[in-house]
Structure 1
Amino acid sequence: MNVPSVASVARSRFGVLPDGADVERIVLQRTDGLEARIITYGASLQALLVPDVDGRRDDIVLGHDAFEGYLARRQFFGATVGRYANRIAGARFVLDGAKVQLAANNGANALHGGLEGFDRRNWRIVRIDDGDQPAVTLAHTSADREEGYPGALEVEVTWRLTGPMELRLDMAARTDRPTVVNLTNHSFFNLAGARSGRDILDHRLTVAADHFLAIDSGAIPLPQPPSEVAGTPFDFRDGVEIGARIRNDHPQLRVGRGYDHNFCLAPARGEPRFAARLVAPTSGRVLELFTNQPGLQVYSGNFLDGTTAGKGGRLYRQSDAICLEPQAWPDTPNRPDFPTARLTPGEVYRHTTLYRFTHANRGAIETQSAVELPEGAGR
């Protein structure tokens, strides 16, 4: 007797670049859970369908229904970001005594890899796995001095459904010269649904971090040690609605126009450790994020200004989604007191993030005063 597979992979053309190259979409699906749609442009998570508490699947990430939207405007929806995610002050740093000048694309600073970062590249499909854990691996070669970064960098990104309700992201990179590497995924999450018409201010967020990095007006970390979250609107250790304190008159909320800060995670020991939990009261969806990265950038969609029409023709506005971006700390190449982002020949950069989904009872969420951390996480 043949037993139907619970998993499948489909591959199709999603769009065409101006040079005539095809942009492909790979759909990883579990009939008993998730469906992830990845496009080769930016190695991006174009859609993620997750069941709600009633079993109804909805797409929970912002983006575009057609490729033209991704090409028209750079907004990092679901993209793989590199060679260095977040900002490097003055678009320069010193490595082994040599000055490195980067492309400045965020005022005087370098942001998310420069003018043409990894999010603007059409990645190669190098492997597709169609077993019970469907997966796709994409690759990109970043040339020596691309956007100013030293060393030729070989990068691979693997998206895999490791269970009915778990999506795993693995990134690896190798270099032929000493360089710096900091990759992340820039998905915008709304657990009520990307087309729900709801914002994320009622989502309850937990972050397993005792400290965060205060920033200046250019979103560069201030020249000081990490700040304690205790007693500030940045204390998410016990689970707080995102909207509860986002409009508090706190200098760091003013300078960031909301949350756009790196939270300092406890050192990873072996497997990815718990970093954050996001709970939506309307859908009952719960996202738990585990990673081996030292930081988590929390961005509350502050610069979504209603000028971009996304999925279903919906105009994206401030706080329509939240980004939870595991990564190295910003400006690390200029901060020897921060965890290093250096990569040398013979070493392998490895980044793993797990997105694990569960459900919560709606009534329990609405009356809940705190969200407990998993054992061993946080304080």
Structure 2
Amino acid sequence: MSITKQVFKSPADPGKYEDVSFLYHMESSTGSYADITSYGCRVVDLVVPDKDGNMTDVLLGYKDLDGYFADTCFHGAIVGRSANRIAGASCVISGVKCDLPVNDGPHNLHSGTPSFQDQFWDGEIIDPAKADAIIAESGIKGIGSVDSDALLLHYISPDGATGFPGNLDTYILYAWLTDKTFFMLFKGTSDKDTIFAPTNHTYFNLKGHDTGYVGDHTIQLDADKVNLKDDHNCSDGRSQDVTGTDFDARAGVPLTQLIKSSDPQITMSKGIDSNFEINDYDGTYKKCAYLIGDKSGIKMEVLTDLPGIQIYAANFLGGDIGKSGKPYNPNYAVCMEAQMFPNAVNIPHFASPVIKAGETCYHATGYRFVNN
């Protein structure tokens, strides 16, 4: 299937961004589709069939560019260079001290501004053969074949952006795979040692984006351990075995267990907002989790080559009006963000998010949809 492209307008100033703001409609051969904007590589819509064949938009989002300009919750965005928190908004990369924006208590969250999520990216529509070739170049094993035309987005984050060194040449590939996976590949190359640790910050509600509370979803995580956090919600290098705790989702549990828990590590963020350590991490692309929508029966499997997955139950959504005119309130969605561990740059025993000058780094994440 071919991808269509149209201007994604700002109603407040309809002509201002028409040369850079686009919406790409990307359909699979089975009829599922995604709409992606060049602003922050944000996924605006993700529509898949439920157990009865009804097409369901499972992704929270906004109807126009102004909604994303006003957004403070990173809806659908590629966030980076460094996703999640860096303690004290400071780190040292190859002997160079980097002072970052303080924007989440004493810490840095999602790199600050300007970052991937608030920039316009250049987009190119490519055929399946070229997309397959890019995936093959990554060297990541286990990724299936591309189903239809794919979208390749490009942005160069300049040296010194939010305190990080190096001109970071970045590509994001979005594609539907033949196994019904909505897939993304991250590629980064820098001229100085720097961090390359992005993620996708999509908010999922598998009953439909405007149907409310997600606590009755079932979540399963292939994770024996969870990162522990300091008093300001940032990973501090400790890990905890999930056995006998509300973090134990290995067999599949109601998501509400992770939202309503009285565990101090959960209540500090008004619900789950923690990084789980994926079992048997070895850098290969594999399934690490699934989510099942109550009522819809939609099952979404998460696959990645990354070591961690952040589960965030949208605890701080503030009632903003979404694309259908209904408010998005706390716990109306869940983010399942494959990632490097939070604050890994400051914790030597975590896998390092630093890439060397001239090195090209790839990461992959897929969301595979099947009817349960």
Q: Considering the TM-score relative to the shorter chain, is it more than 0.5?
A: yes
2:133 match: none
Q: Is residue 281 of structure 1 aligned with residue 281 of structure 2? A: no
For the 8 Å contact 1:9–1:130, the answer to whether it is kept is: no
Is it true that 1:208 corresponds to 2:206 in the alignment?
A: no
- Cα distance, 1:22–1:100 mapped onto 2, change above 3 Å: closer
Moved more, 93-102 or 199-208: 93-102
Q: 2:190 aligns with which of 164, 172, 175?
A: 175
Q: Where does residue 137 of structure 1 map in the other structure? A: 152
| 8 Å contact kept, 1:275–1:290 | yes
**Where does 1:1-379 land on structure 2 (aligned, <5 Å)?**
7-16=1-10, 20=17, 21-129=19-127, 132-163=147-178, 165-195=180-210, 197-223=211-237, 225-244=238-257, 246-269=259-282, 271-306=284-319, 308-360=320-372
**One-letter code aligned to 1:15:** K
Residues 139-178 of structure 1, C-alpha deviations (whole Å, 9 max, x = no match): 0100100100011100000000112622111010001011
CA-to-aligned-CA distance 1:3-61 (integer Å, 9 cap, x gap): xxxx2311111125975443101111125231011100001111100000111111100
State the Cα deviation string for residues 92-124 of structure 1 (Å, max 9, x = none): 112222211112222221111212221000001
Counterpart Cα distance in 2 of 1:268 and 1:348: 21
Q: CA 1:217 to 1:31, structure 2 compared with 1: closer, same or farther past 3 Å? A: same
Deviation (angstroms), 1:313: 1.0
Letter in 2 for 1:309: I
**Counterpart in the other structure of 1:368:** none
SS in 2 for 1:188: coil
8 A Cα contact 1:33 1:164, kept in partner: no
User: In the TM superposition, what is the alpha-carbon distance from 1:250 to its structure 2 partner?
Assistant: 1.2
Distance 1:126 1:252 in 2: 42
- Number of the residue aligned with 2:142: none
Secondary structure class of the residue paired with 1:8: coil
Paired residue type of 2:324: G
* 2:212 alignment partner, SS class: coil
Distance in 2 between residues matched to 1:318 and 1:126, nearest whole Å: 35
Secondary structure, aligned partner of 2:235: coil
Residue type at the aligned position of 1:292: D
- Identity %, equivalent residues: 33
Task: Kindly provide the amino acid, as one letter, of the partner of residue 212 in structure 1.
Answer: V
CA distance in 2, matches of 1:260, 1:331: 14
How far apart in 2 are the matches of 1:173 and 1:157?
9
Where structure 2 has 5 or more consecutive residues not aligned to the other structure, the ranges are: 130-146
Measure the CA separation in 2 of the matches of 1:336 and 1:137: 33
Structure 1 range deviating more: 138-147 or 337-346: 337-346
**1:216·1:255 contact (CA, 8 Å) conserved in 2?**
no
TM superposition shift of 1:126 = 3.3
Give CA-to-partner distance per residue, 1:54-99, whole Å, 9 cap, x none: 1111110001012110012322110000010000011111222221
Q: Which runs of 4+ in 1 moved over 3 A?
A: 16-22, 267-271
Q: Which amino acid aligns with 2:232?
A: G
Q: What is the CA–CA distance in structure 2 between the aligned matches of 1:267 and 1:181, rounded to whole Å?
A: 22
Listed as ranges, the gaps of 5+ residues in structure 1 are 1-6, 361-379
Q: CA deviation at 1:245?
A: 5.0
TM-score by length of 2: 0.90
1-structure distance, mates of 2:201, 2:6: 23
Q: Structure 1 residue 270: deviation in Å?
A: 5.6
CA distance in 2, matches of 1:215, 1:274: 25
Counterpart code for 1:162:
L
For residues 338-369 of structure 1, the C-alpha deviation after alignment (integer angstroms, 9 at most, x for no partner) is 11111002322211011111111xxxxxxxxx
**Which SS does the other structure have where 1:22 is aligned?**
coil
Letter in 2 for 1:12: Q
